Amino acid sequence: MIKRISIVLTLFILHACTQPEPDRTLGLISENGMVVSANPLATQVGVEILEAGGTAFDAAIAVKYMLAVTYPIAGNIGGGGFIIYRTADGERGALDFRETAPGLAHRDMYLDEEGEVVFGKSQLGHLAAGVPGTVAGMDEIYQRFGTLPFADLIQPAIDVARDGYVNSQFQAEQLNRFVSVIEQANTITPDLVRDEPWEEGDVITFEDLAKTLERIRDFGRDGFYKGETARLIVEEMERGGGIISYQDLENYQAVWREPVEVEYRGHRVTSMPPSSSGGVVLAQLLLGSEAFDFADMGHNTAESIHIMTELKRRAYADRATHLGDKDFVDVPINELLNPEYIEQRNSTIQPDTATPSSEIKEGEVERIESFETTHFSVVDQFGNAVSVTTTVNSFFGNKVMVAGAGFFLNNEMDDFSIKPGFPNQFGLVGGEANAIEPGKRMLSSMTPTIVEKDDDLYMVLGTPGGSTIITNVYQVILNVIDHGMTMQEAVDARKIHAQWLPDEIVLERGVISSEIRQQLEEKGHSLREINQIGRFQAIMKRADGTLEGAADTTRTGDSTALGH
**Closest by CA position to 145, among listed 196, 85, 214:** 85
Cα–Cα–Cα angle for 505, 509, 510, rounded to 5 degrees: 110
Cβ atoms of 425 and 369 within 8 Å: the answer is yes
User: Taking the C-alpha atoms of 469, 509, 550 and 269 in order, what is their torsion angle to the nearest 10 degrees?
Assistant: 30
92 Cβ contact list (under 8 Å, min separation 6): 84, 85, 86, 259, 261, 270, 450
Cβ atoms of 285 and 312 within 8 Å: the answer is yes
At 506, the amino acid letter reads V
- The secondary structure of 129-192 as a DSSP string is PPBP-HHHHHHHHHHHH--S-HHHHHHHHHHHHHH-EEPPHHHHHHHHHHHHHHHHH-SS--TT
Q: How far is CA 170 from CA 40, 161, 376, 391, 510, in A?
A: 12, 19, 18, 18, 21
Please state the φ and ψ torsions of residue 518, each to the nearest 5 degrees.
-65, -40
Cβ atoms of 283 and 269 within 8 Å: the answer is yes
d(CA 445, CA 32): 31
Q: How far is CA 210 from CA 206, 405, 427, 498, in A?
A: 6, 8, 36, 41
- The secondary structure of 230-290 as a DSSP string is HHHHHHHHHHHT----HHHHHH---EEEPPEEEEETTEEEEEPPTTBSHHHHHHHHHHHHT
Q: Strand, helix or coil at 476?
A: helix
Q: How far is CA 362 from CA 133, 321, 354, 520, in A?
A: 34, 11, 16, 23
- The residues facing 530 across adjacent strands are 508
373 counts as catalytic: yes
Q: Which of 100, 373, 463, 486 is catalytic?
A: 373
Greatest Cα pair distance in the chain: 66
d(CA 173, CA 150): 34
294 CB-side CA count, 13 A: 28
d(CA 296, CA 1): 54
Q: Other CB atoms closer than 10 Å to residue 13's CB: what's the count?
A: 11
d(CA 391, CA 134): 9
Q: Is the dihedral of CA 543, 546, 549, 550 positive or negative?
A: negative
The residues annotated with a catalytic role in the active site are: 373
